[in-house]
């Protein structure tokens, strides 16, 4: 065969090739991909719905139940109640940390929907135990014990006092700086009211002795600070005090009566001199050991002529309060809490409210009872 014919024959023969997918293959692939994408999207949707965004009714019920259970566990062993309302409960429970002192627990809600329910343990900060609270209400089953006699006013006795013989200091009362003492006497069970007959304190002349001081009994705030409401006052010349703190000085009162159990007052020493003649009106003796004062009494002071008051830590005047207590002759009836009801809801659904109750093992007294 000629060479030219052989070359033509080799050029004319080509290896078999494939141009691409067939139409059927493309259709099948697209359908498979669509099915796969639908499956992936469904899985993503289900996973996103399973994520807790805080609005799940079941989650809200669980959170409310946990908070209610914590209240029930704490309050079931309450020894006494110091604060009681529909949205606030403060009480003492037996020693939990081995220091041989009762522990103090306080639950509170502001009554503003959306605010948190808080728990305070002893002197620690209030900690939120449930957020976005829409409902919180406490109910009390009460039981009355004893009673039946007519109220009778008892003899004059010392209702409260605090004395010390070391760590003593002077408080100089002047136009800007006043001093006082908050006090709330501990009354016998069954008491219905109390009154102040006289107060004793330690005071002495400061300077020329030309000044004067107003000795007042004022209503107190819930924090134990003086209000501007003066129940009764006596103005005393500085010269009456003498040049030393001995003896104790006493002032009588006659109009401060009918005070409710659990109600505190403030004894206040207010500047009453003419600052042109006398810059200071007296010195009042107080005790300061840097430690805690009893929970029902503490010193108060102002550097703004009574515009604002503070309670300095660990300080107390040397003072005493004498008065009478009115109670039924046979001791009177007292009210005790036998059962606590708790209702709480978080989230918008009314059906997620949790209701529970607990029997009070120690049947603590109602505050003021």
Gap between the Cα atoms of 130 and 63, Å rounded: 7
- pLDDT band per the 50, 70, 90 thresholds, residue 1: very low
Comma-separated ranges of CATH 2.60.120 domains in the chain = 151-328
For 298-364, give the secondary structure using H, E and C.
Answer: EEEEECCCCCCCECCCCEEECEEEEEEEEEECCCCEEEEEEEEEEEEEECCCHHHCEEEEEECCCCC
Note the pTM of the prediction, 2 decimals: 0.52
| CB burial readout 337-350, b (16+ within 10 A) else e | beebebbbbbbeee
Q: How far apart are CA 90 and CA 119, in angstroms?
A: 10
Mean pLDDT throughout 53-67?
Answer: 82
Question: Maximum Cα–Cα distance for the chain, whole Å?
Answer: 153
Rounded average pLDDT over 133-160: 84
Tell me how crowded residue 152 is: count the other CB atoms within 10 A of its CB: 13
Residue 292 vs residues 115, 126, 218, 297, 304: alpha-carbon distances, Å: 32, 20, 24, 10, 25
pLDDT band at 128 (very low <50, low <70, confident <90, very high): very high
Do residues 81 and 89 make contact, with C-beta atoms less than 8 angstroms apart?
yes
Q: Which residues contact 84 (CB under 8 A, 6 or more apart)?
A: 90, 138, 140, 337, 366, 367
DSSP calls for 127-149: EEEESSEEEEEEEEEEEEEE--S
- For residue 13, the model assigns a pLDDT of 52
- Cβ neighbors of 292 (< 8 A, separation 6 or more) are 314
CB under 8 Å to 271, separation ≥6 — which residues? 173, 174, 175, 176, 177, 178, 211, 213, 214, 281, 305
The pLDDT of 333-352, averaged and rounded, is 87
**How does pLDDT run across 242-300, given as a tens digit for each residue?**
999 988 999 999 999 999 999 999 999 999 988 777 788 999 999 998 776 777 999 99
CATH of domain 151-328: 2.60.120
354: Cα within 13 Å, side-chain hemisphere? 24
Characterise 176 by phi-psi region: left (phi > 0), alpha (psi -120 to 50), beta (else): alpha
Return d(Cα 41, Cα 44) in angstroms, integer.
5
Helix (H) or strand (E) holding 84: strand 80-84
Residue 182 sits at the vertex; the CA angle it makes with 187 and 166, to the nearest 5 degrees, is 100
Select from 97, 358, 75, 342 the least CA-distant residue to 83: 75
Least confident of 13-27, 103-117, 225-239: 13-27
State both tokens at 28.
């099948």
């Amino acid at each position: 065969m000629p060479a030219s014919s052989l070359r033509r024959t080799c050029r004319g023969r080509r290896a078999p090739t494939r141009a691409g997918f067939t139409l059927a293959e493309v259709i099948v692939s697209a359908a498979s991909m669509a099915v796969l994408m639908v499956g992936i999207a469904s899985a993503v949707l289900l996973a996103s719905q399973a994520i807790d965004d805080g609005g799940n009714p079941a989650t809200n019920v669980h959170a409310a139940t946990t908070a209610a259970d914590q209240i029930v566990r704490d309050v079931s062993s309450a020894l006494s109640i110091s604060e009681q309302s529909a949205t606030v409960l403060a009480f003492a429970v037996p020693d939990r940390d081995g220091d041989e002192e009762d522990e103090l627990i306080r639950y509170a809600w502001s009554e503003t929907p959306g605010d948190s329910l808080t728990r305070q343990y002893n002197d620690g900060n209030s900690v939120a135990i449930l957020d976005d609270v829409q409902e919180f209400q406490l109910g009390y089953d009460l039981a009355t014990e004893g009673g039946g006699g007519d109220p009778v006013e008892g003899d004059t006795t010392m209702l409260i006092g605090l004395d010390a013989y070391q760590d003593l200091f002077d408080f100089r009362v002047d136009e800007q700086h006043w001093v006082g003492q908050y006090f709330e006497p501990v009354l016998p069970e069954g008491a219905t009211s109390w009154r102040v007959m006289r107060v004793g304190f330690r005071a002495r002349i400061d300077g020329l002795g030309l000044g004067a001081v107003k000795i007042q009994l004022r209503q107190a705030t819930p924090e134990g600070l003086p209000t501007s409401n003066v129940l009764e006052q006596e103005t005393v010349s500085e010269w009456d005090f003498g040049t030393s703190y001995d003896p104790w000085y006493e002032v009588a009162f006659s109009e401060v009566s009918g005070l409710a159990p659990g109600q505190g007052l403030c004894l206040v020493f207010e500047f009453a001199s003419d600052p042109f003649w006398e810059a200071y009106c007296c010195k009042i003796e107080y005790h300061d050991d840097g430690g805690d004062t009893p929970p029902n009494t503490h010193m108060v002071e102002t550097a703004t002529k009574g515009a604002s008051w503070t309670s300095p830590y660990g300080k107390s005047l040397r003072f005493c309060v004498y008065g009478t207590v009115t109670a039924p002759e046979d001791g009177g009836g007292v009210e005790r809490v036998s059962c606590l009801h708790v209702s709480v809801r978080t989230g918008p659904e009314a059906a997620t409210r949790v209701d529970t109750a607990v029997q009070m093992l120690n049947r603590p007294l109602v505050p003021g009872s």
